[in-house]
Amino acid sequence: MTSVLELSPVVPVVVVEDPADAVPLARALVAGGLPAIEVTLRTAGALDAIRAITDGVPGAVVGAGTVITPAQVAEAVGAGARFLVSPGWTDVLLEAMRASGVPFLPGVSTTSEVVALLERGVREMKFFPAQAAGGTAYLRSLAGPLPQARFCPTGGIGPALAPEYLALPNVGCVGGSWMLPADAVAARDWDRIERLAREAAGLSAGGTCR
């Protein structure tokens, strides 16, 4: 795999509170048609969750999100992460991500950050926080002057907005947590999560991005 953006049109962003939930949750997402899963490194159990999904859910392609230090890059890849996502970037973090050997998405929210990443040879980025930073209007505006940059917008996107993002020429996939409502996860309602995943997987059907 060389590109995170080509994995799946919709990438669920998961905050795992209890690592015991990781495998059934990932199974529900994969069964619903969302094989690429970003587990955020925001909880104590996140690395265990990545390990558990790697070992226990063959159809899943699990990556690590909220990666903000070189140490986290190493830990995530060591746990089995097959891609890395960060809400932002620095040269130190970029160097560690490049050296990791797995595809990665550094995060941007301004035009100058996009230019700076292009200058460093990076063309694929997370656009975060997507809705707060200008949404589809902002990304559409970037497509003219900077067509070589492609994005995975994430942050504040739900099923109503996802198709609008996916229809943009510079969007490869969208990320979000809308298919993992807190009450469904708390109730371990994996059937509901599978249904929501299936709906999310269907959102890109009419899009122009793939």
Residues marked active site are found at 38, 126
Instruction: Find the shortest distance in angstroms from Cβ 119 to ligand 3PG.
Output: 25
Among 49, 117, 125, 157, binds ligand 3PG (CB under 6 A): 157
Comparing CB distances to ligand 3PG, the nearer of 103 and 176 is 176
Q: Does 155 bind ligand 3PG (CB under 6 A)?
A: yes
Comparing CB distances to ligand 3PG, the nearer of 15 and 52 is 15
Q: Does 12 bind ligand 3PG (CB under 6 A)?
A: no
Among 13, 37, 39, 81, binds ligand 3PG (CB under 6 A): 13
Per-residue x/- marks for ligand 3PG, 41-80, CB under 6 A?
A: ------------------------x---------------
Per-residue x/- marks for ligand 3PG, 99-138, CB under 6 A?
A: -----------------------------x----------
Among 72, 100, 154, 204, binds ligand 3PG (CB under 6 A): 154
How would you write the chain as a 3-class SS string? CCCHHHCCCEEEEECCCCHHHHHHHHHHHHHCCCCEEEEECCCCCHHHHHHHHHHHCCCCEEEEECCCCHHHHHHHHHHCCCCEECCCCCHHHHHHHHHHCCCEECEECCHHHHHHHHHCCCCEEEECCCCCCCHHHHHHHHHCCCCCCEEEEECCCCCCCHHHHHCCCCECCEEECCCCCHHHHHCCCHHHHHHHHHHHHHCCCCCCCC
- Chain centroid to CA 182: how far? 18
Under a CB-based contact definition with an 8 Å cutoff, are residues 51 and 80 in contact?
yes
Instruction: Find the shortest distance in angstroms from Cβ 16 to ligand 3PG.
Output: 13
From 76, 86, 79, 70, select the one nearest 4 (Cα to Cα): 86
Instruction: Find the shortest distance in angstroms from Cβ 174 to ligand 3PG.
Output: 9
Which listed range, 49-57, 169-177, 183-191, 196-204, lies at the site for ligand 3PG (CB under 6 A)?
169-177
Q: Does 197 bind ligand 3PG (CB under 6 A)?
A: no
